[in-house]
Chain A
Amino acid sequence: MSETMQTIIAGGIVVSAVLYLVVSAARKKKGGCDKGCGCGTKPPDLKQ
């Protein structure tokens, strides 16, 4: 495997990692319980 090919594959893996973190952060932003149980528990509003 040439060095250029290695750099391209490594670059692809790095970009995938960045995309994974961005997508999972965007999903979390939607709210709801974080435990992945799908219960949809919402916290009480502390502003009130």
Chain B
Amino acid sequence: MAKNPAANSKETFRRVAIAGNPNAGKTTLFNLLTGMRQKVGNYPGVTVEKKTGRFFGSHGEQMELIDLPGSYSLQVRSPDEAVARDLLLGRIADTPRPDVIVAVVDASNLGRHLYLVAQMLELGLPVIVVLNMVDMAEKQGLVMDVMALREKLGVPVIPMVATNGKGLIELKQALSRTPLSKPEHGAQLPIVFEREVVAIAKKLPDAPEIARAEALLLLSLDDAALDDSLVQNPSLRAEIAQAKQRLAIGGIDSLAAPVDARYDWVAQICSEVIHRRGEDTDGLTPSDRLDMVLTHKVWGWLAFIGMMTLMFFCIFTIASYPMDWIDGGMSALADWAKTKIPEGDLQSLVADGIIGGVGGVIIFLPQILTLFFFLGLLEDSGYMARAAFLMDRLMSRVGLHGKSFIPLLSSFACAIPGIMAARTIENRKDRLVTVLVAPLMSCSARLPVYILLIAVMLPAASAWIRAGIMLIMYMLGLIAAFCMAWVFKKTLLKSETPMLLLELPPYRKPVLRGIAQRMWERALIFLRRAGTVILALSIILWALLTYPKSANPEASESEKLEQSIGGRMGRTIEPVIAPLGYDWKIGIGLVASFAAREVFVSTMGQIYNIEDADEESAPLRENMANEKRSDGTPIFTPLVCISLMVFYVLAMQCISTVAIVRRETNSWGWALFQILYMTVLAWVGAFVTYQGGKLLGFQ
């Protein structure tokens, strides 16, 4: 057992740990107490990192709050559950053991949530049970006898509705009580088992209250889990093995005995404290009835596709107004800069490089925020768990772990948190497969590229058609991810795929304030990125597209561009990309966007702003649509636009993701392999699209 160096810390404030099953409302309670912003959990595993915050108790005293990852049991099955267990046992070196546990349980699902509470009562720490979502339990016709529950558990029980703050004062009062009393009751273990627990606890170096909890956990581990545990002492391992043998001779299964005892205890409590009001008609809740449609084999998929189409439709319609305002503002700013700065390199850098480059990316902020608004609605309403359920049928067929859904879903926003979320997958090979395919999901950085190319391809098309094309691109990424996962599971990373245990939480009304907070955070991240990395890349790109200058002062803008380093780079790779239908100018965009995908948009902005420098600033999509080859045919034909979109769906092109993959896999090999396979896949995909389209007579 690891000694905890922080345990002797002289800080005097009370440390409170919030623990509970996934979807119990821990994060909502954490936000309510601390005011810190965090995602509201609606599907399993949303909280995978340690979150701390401070708040004031009912007497104004400061307390520290730790939000633990959701767990079903202290017999852990994943790294995030291990964090919760280790923190409660004081095993984490830089985090002191909490002074009190706030065990959050879902009142409408008490039977299942109380199992973890039963384990917490065995830890020797004061426990306060928060009976959350009592309003939903009432709606379901459940009546809780809170007094009886308090008596049975032997700890304070606070009925709460964390989403609206009901019960907060009572909770703070309970937390401020001094001294906090330790649990008096718990599941009754068989006497022989209890005796063995006490004997092993005496051999452990920990303090007595931790030693008993540790001994109980060690005795109920199977041999494989014991190998993974922190027990290195051979004599202690021998003691545990002997104790298990003695129990087995006495007819007691050391793994099952404590589990059975807890379940029996919980069942007995539930039978005494939960009463059903009125007639039980068909036993179905409104959530159950909705699930009959939304998780149905056929209707479920139709509903899913319908919701996604509606989301993209709104992205094109609602967001188009602010997008036009920003576009107009940026053009006016560029024209103003041109009047204020005399003609020369600095004017070109400011107007074409900085305003053209960064402005070209900022234009897409409304669309990205609309996307996050809808994702927030779907997450907070509880629909995402249903989408996971639908996807699991497909994912299990290609060998993807059910838990991969969350990393893949997060990757729709950005592959970086998606890849980090893969940490919740316990099997190394399953985790690697997820990391390798996560960047194939269309992230928000691809959104500007798709929107620009769709606008160039179909300037007059209705929003429904544009939304349909966008949906196809998102589905293409999803299908490519599934296909590649299947290939990896059959070749490089062969392993059995375990079953997914998925909890479908009841549907909830989304909290708009929480969604607005997340949109605000996302806007800040986007603008920070636009003002730092994208700005720096746009400036460097401007230099690459401007220098060296042509010796001929009469040269056209296009000839000057061709003379530049960027132009030469585009010309160099032109033979490789010509079969995909791209010219050297698109080649510049492809090379430049290897650092970050959205740089493609700013590159196009710069190239066509420089070329049309003498004209009034026109929207980029018009400049691109008017671009011609030397034979007078347009460059950006529908087929070229689709081929480009396919390339961007499948290509890696994100330095930050490469860095994260390298860190998460601890290997440059996997990171480089990923760049290689995705680039080859992108090239082949774009080639098949363009050449196949041409063969079929498309342009």
Contacts and interface: CB of A to CB of B under 8 A. Distances in A.
Interface residues of A, number: 26
Nearest to B422: A43
A21 B533 contact: yes
Contacts of A43: 420, 423, 663-664, 666
A46 B428 contact: yes
A7 B540 CA distance: 14
Given A21-B533, A43-B420, A10 B666 contact: no
A42 B50 CA distance: 12
Nearest to B344: A6
A17 B431 CA distance: 36
B401 to A, nearest CB: 14
Given A13-B539, A34-B416, A34-B660, A3 B345 contact: yes
Contacts of A24: 532-533
Nearest to B665: A46
B281 to A, nearest CB: 48
Interface of B: 49-50, 79, 341-342, 344-349, 416-417, 420, 423, 428, 431-432, 532-533, 535-537, 539-540, 542-543, 656, 659-660, 663-667, 670
8 contacts: A3-B344, A10-B346, A18-B536, A33-B49, A34-B656, A35-B417, A47-B666, A48-B428
Nearest to B348: A10
Contacts of A6: 342, 344-347
A1 to B, nearest CB: 6
A44 B431 CA distance: 10
A3 B348 CA distance: 12
A48 B348 CA distance: 53
B423 A17 contact: no
Nearest to B429: A46
Contact of B345 (A7, A35, A44, A46): A7
Nearest to B50: A39
B423 A1 contact: no
A46 B540 contact: no
A32 B666 CA distance: 12
B344 A31 contact: no
Nearest to B347: A6
Contacts of B656: 34
Nearest to B549: A7
A39 to B, nearest CB: 6
Contacts of A18: 536, 540
B177 to A, nearest CB: 30
Contacts of B345: 3, 6-7, 9-10
Contacts of A31: 663
A28 to B, nearest CB: 6
Contacts of B533: 21, 24
Contacts of B539: 13-14, 17
A44 B346 contact: no
Contacts of B346: 1, 6-7, 9-10
Contacts of B348: 10
Contacts of A39: 49-50
Most chain B CB within a 10 A radius of its CB, from A7, A17, A28, A45:
A17
Given A10-B348, A13-B349, A18-B536, 14 more contacts: A1-B341, A1-B346, A9-B346, A13-B539, A14-B539, A20-B532, A24-B533, A33-B420, A34-B416, A34-B420, A41-B49, A43-B663, A44-B79, A46-B666
B646 to A, nearest CB: 29
A21 B344 contact: no
A16 B119 CA distance: 57
Contacts of B537: 17, 21
A1 B346 CA distance: 10
A1 B344 contact: yes
Nearest to A20: B536
B559 to A, nearest CB: 20
A16 B152 CA distance: 67
A10 B349 contact: yes
Contacts of A7: 344-346
Contacts of A48: 428
A28 B341 CA distance: 36
B543 A28 contact: no
Contact of A17 (B342, B347, B535, B667): B535
Contacts of A21: 533, 536-537, 540
A20 B428 CA distance: 36
A46 B667 contact: yes
Contacts of B344: 1, 3, 6-7
Given A9-B346, A47-B666, A14 B540 contact: yes
Most chain B CB within a 10 A radius of its CB, from A7, A33, A48:
A7
B422 to A, nearest CB: 9
Contacts of A1: 341-342, 344, 346
Return the 9 tightest CB-CB contacts between A and B, nearest first.
A6-B344, A6-B346, A17-B539, A17-B536, A10-B345, A14-B543, A10-B349, A43-B664, A7-B345
B540 A45 contact: no
Nearest to B49: A41
Contacts of A45: 666
A28 B659 contact: yes
Contacts of A35: 417
Nearest to B426: A44
A44 B659 contact: no
B518 to A, nearest CB: 14
Contacts of A33: 49, 420
A23 B451 CA distance: 32
Nearest to A28: B659
B51 to A, nearest CB: 8
A3 B428 CA distance: 59
Contacts of A9: 345-346
A29 to B, nearest CB: 8
Contacts of B663: 31, 43
B341 to A, nearest CB: 8
A9 B663 CA distance: 38
Nearest to A1: B342
Contacts of B79: 44
A18 B656 CA distance: 16
B641 to A, nearest CB: 30
A17 B659 contact: no
A22 to B, nearest CB: 10
B34 to A, nearest CB: 14
A9 B543 CA distance: 12
A15 B473 CA distance: 38
A44 B536 CA distance: 33
A20 B532 CA distance: 8
